[in-house]
Structure 1
Amino acid sequence: MEERDLCAEAPKRPQKICMVSPVRAVVHLRRKIRILRKSRLQIDLTGKKSSESAQPRLVQKQKMLVDTVGFQKPQYFTFDTPSLERVSIVKQRRRKKYRKSRAVLYPENIKKHLPLEHKSKATRCLLLLTAIICFQILNAIENLDDNLEKYDLDGLEKTLQREVFGQKIAIENIMNLLKDYLATHIHNKPLVMSVHGPSGVGKSYVGRLLARHFRAIMDGEFVLQYFVMHHCPADENVFSCQLNLSSKISAMVSQAELDERIPVFIIDEVEMMPPALLDTLSGFFQTNQTNEYLNAIYVLISNIGGSEITKYVLHNASNDILHSHIMSGDLVSAIRTSLQQNHPLFNYADIIPFILLERSHIVHCFLDELMREGFYPDNNHIETLAGQINYYTIQGRQYSTTGCKLVGAKVSLL
């Protein structure tokens, strides 16, 4: 009523002034709709439903107004984000991750090149190190071959195989020991070879061949051929023999070290050597010496163990069985037990047994001796001379009791 009166009292005003009340109502309704929408949005974000309470509408409106004001202008700063916003942020991040990178476009007038691979310098150093090692190994192998060629061991082996009959395994053992030892000039012990066997099987002859070969190679300065019965007879003072032998060995060893040579000492008739002289000789076989005494070769020749070798050969008369036993070392172990009772000197030596010679070997000895003396080789004559030698006959085989020792005497009587 009041509004109508106001309109009546002011007739001169424009007509749109009378439309104030409907406009206010519309604005008021729009505000309420906004407030309701904002309150619902806040409830959805917080996840809480509004409880229907029996409070008056005025109090509920005030709370809604407070909530909306707080939603529009928060009083406190917080890092918590609503759940919907979090989900949207996560989706955006995932989209960013799965975005494909754009293809790089090159101009058409430019050639495409693959990226260069940077090689590491460590590979070059590794290749250089392997090359140096291979060169050193090759140089060492060549040095070994040079040392063997310097001593002409191939020629020595051919000479021994040609001149010595019936001792193939013994010659192979001697050559293997010499090749292993003479391959280098630095050693931790001297090489001691002890040759054993009965009379006439070729022990002393092998010693003479070794002395002749190394004298031709080293001009005779570093080879000593020592015969006990000649250099130290029974009536000679043993002390003087000790001084003589030790002085000769020391002088040759010192000179050979200066010339980078390995001296060779061939001592025959060791079974006749006095115990004191054996003690002096064994002192040079020790390992706690200077380098020049460690670089030396000693060849000991004796008849010690000859009876054991004869028994062993006759017990194993079959040729195949005998050779297999020699290669397995059974004969060496049988000889070493008898040598240990004689002197501990032989504990430092490599035992090389020389076995009995068969009748075929005696025939070769006669043929070789006749050729040297200038006789015509007649087979019937040779068989007649070979029949004059005494033999051990067992299982259809004949083994000479004296070897080739009497061959020279028989030929000289012709």
Structure 2
Amino acid sequence: MARGGARLALPRKLLLLLPVLGLVSASAPWGLGAWRCSFSSSCECDFRPELSGLECALSVHLFGQPLARELLVRGLRAFVEDADPAKPLVMSFHGWTGTGKTYASALAVRHLLREGLRSPFVHRFSPTVHFPHAERTEQYKKDLKSWIQGNLTLCSRSVFLFDEMDKMPPGLIDAIVPFLGPSWVVFGTNYRKAIFIFISNAGGEQINRMALDLWWARKDREEIDLKDLEKSVLEAAFENPQNGFWKSGIIEQGLIDLLVPFLPLKQHHVKQCVANELASQGLQMRPDVVQAVADSLPYFPEEEKVFSSTGCKMVASRIPYYL
């Protein structure tokens, strides 16, 4: 008996006959290999972690986030190197818009699973797409719980991404609380190998305030530590009734293993984003375009204009106007 649930071993000949018998489709999006995984807690599915590559990619492409880079790589490495984790890895990314939360999660997935974001074992949820009507929250809870359990049964190494948690209907996310702790059992799989990533703007104001205080004190962002931010960010998320984490058992029960704060970006970080976007589009590097795009974006505080109000979020859409 595996700790995450019972294993059921079927003869290879029977596995190969299942599509013929109509019990499973060989052309199903998760394939026969994934079906085999549903009967083994040791099956790694599409999971091929390459954390050295992730560390390099974050250093090259994620600008102005030394703390986030360190926490993300360190947290993933500890989880991946544990052959029998006590619980799923639960990470929560917090920060102002355009600071790289979604981008960092995409880089992480690309270096965790062979097919990256195209993997059938990566599941993304958006409140505006999947949960648009607050009055249907109870039905959404049932659907979400069923979806999580079904996909964990197919593959214990599933990755679940929840975008825009600050727009999630309050109370909805608590439907998955049982899957995040050490005691839930999903038949035929070690669900404790799953990874959950929550992405939220909640707590962004607290993070911005800390960064601004350090700037006033003439200190660098590298001096910000997780312990300086974690408590206030979680409190902000938990106490805001317009937030998906409002009074959530996920926070109340301490189920978040790693809070990753994303700091507001300065203008030179925005310039790096512009240069990176030009390179990704195969365009010539033009300092005049880089400067013009960076200057066109809003900054705060109003007088000092230290940090970008939109981070790198509007960079791609602004570039065509200055080419």
Band of TM-score, shorter chain: 0.7 to 0.9
Question: Counterparts in 2 of 1:159-198, with a 5 A limit?
Answer: 159-198=57-96
Could you say which residue in structure 2 is the equivalent of 1:152? 50
Q: 1:396 to 1:252 in 2, by over 3 A?
A: same
Alignment-derived partner of residue 211 in structure 1: 109
SS at structure 1 position matched to 2:225: helix
CA 1:276 to 1:335, structure 2 compared with 1: closer, same or farther past 3 Å? closer
> In structure 2, the residue corresponding to 1:352 is in which secondary structure?
strand
Q: Distance in 1 between matches of 2:97 and 2:82?
A: 35
Asked whether the 8 Å contact 1:197–1:355 carries over to 2, the reply is yes
Indicate yes or no: 2:170 matched with 1:275: yes
Give 2:310's aligned residue: 402
* SS, match of residue 229 in structure 1: helix
Q: Percent identity?
A: 28
Question: Which residue, 283, 288, 308 being the options, matches 1:375?
Answer: 283
Picking from 247, 257, 262, the partner of 1:343 is: 247
Q: CA deviation at 1:394?
A: 9.3
* Alignment match of 2:298 (pick from 390, 393, 399): 390
Relative to 1, partners in 2 of residues 1:239 and 1:179: Cα closer, same or farther, differing over 3 Å? same
d(CA) in 1 for partners of 2:167, 2:292: 35
**Letter paired with 1:263:** S
What is the DSSP-based 3-state SS (H/G/I as helix, E as strand, rest coil) of the residue aligned with 2:296? coil
CA distance in 2, matches of 1:174, 1:343: 25
SS at match of 1:298: strand
SS in 2 for 1:316: helix
Any idea what the Cα deviations from partners look like across 1:292-315, whole Å, max 9, x if unmatched?
A: 232211110011101111111111
Aligned equivalent of 1:251: 150
Partner secondary structure for residue 78 of structure 2:
helix
5+ long unaligned stretches in structure 2: 1-43, 240-245
Query: Is 2:127 the partner of 1:228?
Result: yes
- SS of 2:114's equivalent in the other structure is helix
Per-residue deviation, 1:319 = 6.3
Give the unaligned 5+ runs of structure 1: 1-145
Distance in 2 separating the partners of 1:408 and 1:150: 31
Listed one character per residue, the Cα deviations across residues 146-184 of structure 1 (whole Å, up to 9, x for unaligned) are 9xx941111122222222111122011011111101112
Kept in 2: contact 1:211–1:225 (CA 8 A): no
Aligned residues of 1:215 and 1:221 also touching (Cα < 8 A):
no
Contact residue 271 and residue 303 of structure 1 kept, 8 A: yes
Runs of 4 or more above 6 Å deviation? 394-397
Alpha-carbon distance in 2 for matches of 1:213, 1:194: 18
Q: Post-superposition shift, 1:268? A: 0.7
Q: 1:240: which partner in 2?
A: 139
Q: TM-score, normalised by structure 2?
A: 0.73
CA distance in 2, matches of 1:294, 1:400: 39
Partner residue in 1 for 2:181 = 286
Separation in structure 2 between the aligned mates of residue 366 and residue 306 of structure 1, nearest angstrom: 23
* Secondary structure of the corresponding residue to residue 278 of structure 1: helix
Q: Pairwise mapping of residues 28-43 of structure 1 onto structure 2 (< 5 A)?
A: none
Normalising by structure 1, we get a TM-score of 0.58
Give the number of equivalent residue pairs.
262
Distance 1:243 1:337 in 2: 27
Q: CA deviation at 1:215?
A: 4.1
- The higher radius of gyration belongs to 1
Distance, in Å, in 1 between the alignment partners of 2:303 and 2:66 is 22
> What is the Cα-based RMSD across aligned positions, in Å?
2.6
Q: Which of structures 1 and 2 has the larger relative contact order (alpha carbons within 8 angstroms, sep 6+)?
A: 2
Task: Give the C-alpha shift of residue 236 in structure 1.
Answer: 7.3
